[in-house]
């Protein structure tokens, strides 16, 4: 919107030839003078098209500032208060919308006008009006009465109503989206539409106002409804609302889908990461198998060690008993010496230090290192990437001796993953993939793959 300029000289008494007020000194009669001048210009021009050009230029030139725009709305209210001048208020909007095709500046002016009306509606600046037993905002009154008069004068003006209503819907849906985003940011919750009560939108109140007025009878003694024609306008505006709302929702859905796809592409593991992850996965699989066998091998060595230790202790105990009873020429001194010797010998020779070469090597640290290195790549894999990666691992020669444990290793990686929510795949996808890999492993082991 342009900066404030001097008010059109024609707005004041043309015969006096006086200039308009300064931009900082808007007279109290400014709105009234606007309304009067608009009526004069419409009645002065015989040709409706010429009148539309003249009035739209006058309105734009006179009120195209943030300070003066509200006075145009006040002038419209003055015209609506008199039944004889209501049509001029309607024609001014028709002129602005129709002439915006030829004058681009009028498009911005109409946008600014609706911005002001929305601000007035949300701030409740205008007094409420009553239709029957219902109350509506003063802003709805201005819009609906102009729409009503436009449609009453010419049914073709319904397209102008739809065009203005479309702009209004788009603006309010943007406001609604911003409010939802702010609410989610404050509360940390999504689904704000269900989490909080939504306030009534201006476009909904416009429809409700016209609907209420179409059902209201001006003369209670008469069976005729003078505003019955508004039912057609209401249906037209409802259709406009459905179409525009769906269009905006579809556009947002497409944008969100595109954004999610972009984010997914950014999160997906790169080809370089997949190549670098091969060694970590292969080494980790080997360490995983060794770690799984570690306990069994450890227990086997422990059984042998304890058996030998127990055997030496039993032999020493037997010699002690034989010496104690004096059998086979063994006295108690020899029996005691042999018993102590066997106990010490079995303890020393079957200690864990002596059997350290037989114990399996603990590879838990190596397994943790390899698994952690691959998990970073694993989290950023899509199902297709992981399926292709595991299929190659099944055919990899180094993995043939560990092939049976490959599905278990994938489950192990998921189990130790620190932040599973950041993983691209969900549990169902991973479970289905593991089942598929188990089938491929079985086929490979049977020589069918």
Which is nearest to 291 in space by CA: 279, 283, 301?
283
353 within 8 A of 301, measured Cβ to Cβ: no
Lowest mean pLDDT among 95-109, 116-130, 265-279, 284-298: 265-279
> What's the chain's average pLDDT?
81
Q: What is the DSSP string of 322-348?
A: HHHHTGGG--HHHHHHHHHHHHHHHHH
pLDDT tens-place string over residues 312-335: 888 788 877 777 777 776 777 777
Banded model confidence at residue 18, pLDDT cuts 50, 70, 90: very low
Top mean pLDDT of 289-293, 318-322, 404-408 is at 404-408
More confident call, 276 vs 433:
433
pLDDT tens-place string over residues 209-257: 998 888 855 555 556 667 778 889 999 999 999 999 999 999 888 888 8
227 CB-near residues (< 8 Å, 6+ apart): 148, 213, 214, 216, 218
Answer yes or no: is pLDDT of 406 > 70. Answer: yes
Answer yes or no: is pLDDT of 193 > 60. Answer: no
Answer yes or no: is pLDDT of 410 > 90. Answer: no
Answer yes or no: is pLDDT of 95 > 90. Answer: yes
The reported pLDDT for the residue numbered 2 is 42
CA–CA dist 30, 75 (Å, integer) = 9
For the four alpha carbons of 272, 275, 276 and 277, in that order, the dihedral sign comes to positive
72 within 8 A of 113, measured Cβ to Cβ: yes
CA–CA dist 285, 399 (Å, integer) = 8
CA–CA dist 206, 144 (Å, integer) = 6
The reported pLDDT for the residue numbered 8 is 43
Tokens encoding 449: 């793959």
445 CB-near residues (< 8 Å, 6+ apart): 403, 404
The reported pLDDT for the residue numbered 265 is 63
The reported pLDDT for the residue numbered 56 is 92
Percent of the chain with pLDDT over 90: 30
Residue 246 to residues 128, 173, 260: CA-CA distances in angstroms? 31, 11, 21
């Amino acid at each position: 919107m342009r900066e404030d300029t001097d008010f059109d000289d024609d707005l004041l008494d043309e015969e006096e030839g006086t200039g308009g007020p300064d931009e900082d000194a808007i007279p109290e009669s400014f709105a009234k003078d606007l309304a009067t001048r608009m009526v004069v210009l419409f009645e002065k021009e015989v040709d409706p098209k010429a009148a539309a050009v003249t009035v739209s230029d006058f309105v734009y030139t006179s009120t195209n500032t943030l300070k003066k725009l509200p006075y145009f709305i006040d002038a419209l209210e003055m015209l609506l208060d008199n039944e004889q001048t209501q049509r001029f208020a309607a024609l001014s909007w028709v002129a602005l919308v129709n002439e915006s095709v030829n004058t681009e500046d009028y498009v911005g002016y109409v946008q600014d006008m609706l911005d002001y009306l929305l601000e007035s509606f949300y701030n409740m600046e205008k007094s409420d009006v009553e239709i029957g037993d219902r109350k509506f905002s003063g802003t709805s009154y201005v819009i609906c009465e102009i729409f009503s008069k436009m449609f009453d004068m010419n049914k073709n003006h319904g397209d102008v109503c739809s065009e203005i209503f479309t702009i209004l819907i788009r603006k309010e849906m943007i406001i609604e989206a911003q409010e939802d985003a702010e609410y989610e940011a404050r509360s940390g919750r999504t689904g704000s539409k269900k989490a909080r009560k939504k306030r009534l939108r201006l476009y909904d109140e416009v429809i409700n106002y016209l609907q209420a007025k179409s059902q209201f009878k001006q003369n209670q003694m008469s069976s005729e409804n003078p505003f019955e024609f508004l039912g057609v306008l209401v249906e037209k505006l409802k259709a406009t609302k459905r179409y525009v709302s769906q269009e905006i929702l579809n556009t947002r859905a497409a944008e969100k889908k595109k954004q999610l796809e972009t984010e997914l592409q950014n999160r997906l593991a790169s080809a370089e990461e997949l190549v670098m992850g091969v060694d970590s996965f292969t080494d980790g699989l080997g360490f995983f198998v060794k770690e799984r066998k570690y306990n069994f091998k450890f227990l086997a060595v422990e059984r042998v060690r304890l058996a030998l230790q127990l055997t030496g202790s039993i032999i020493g105990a037997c010699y002690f008993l034989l010496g104690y009873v004096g059998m086979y020429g063994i006295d108690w001194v020899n029996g005691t010496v042999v018993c102590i010797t066997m106990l010490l010998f079995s303890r020393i020779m079957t200690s864990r230090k002596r059997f350290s070469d037989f114990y399996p090597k603990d590879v838990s640290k190596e397994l943790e290192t390899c698994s952690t290195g691959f998990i970073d790549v694993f989290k950023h894999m899509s199902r297709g990437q992981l399926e292709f990666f595991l299929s190659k691992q099944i055919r990899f020669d180094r993995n043939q001796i560990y092939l049976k444990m490959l599905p278990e290793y994938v489950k192990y990686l998921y189990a130790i993953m620190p932040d599973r929510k950041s993983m691209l795949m969900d549990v169902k996808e991973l479970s289905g993939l593991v089942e598929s890999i188990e089938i491929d492993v079985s086929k490979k082991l049977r020589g069918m793959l």
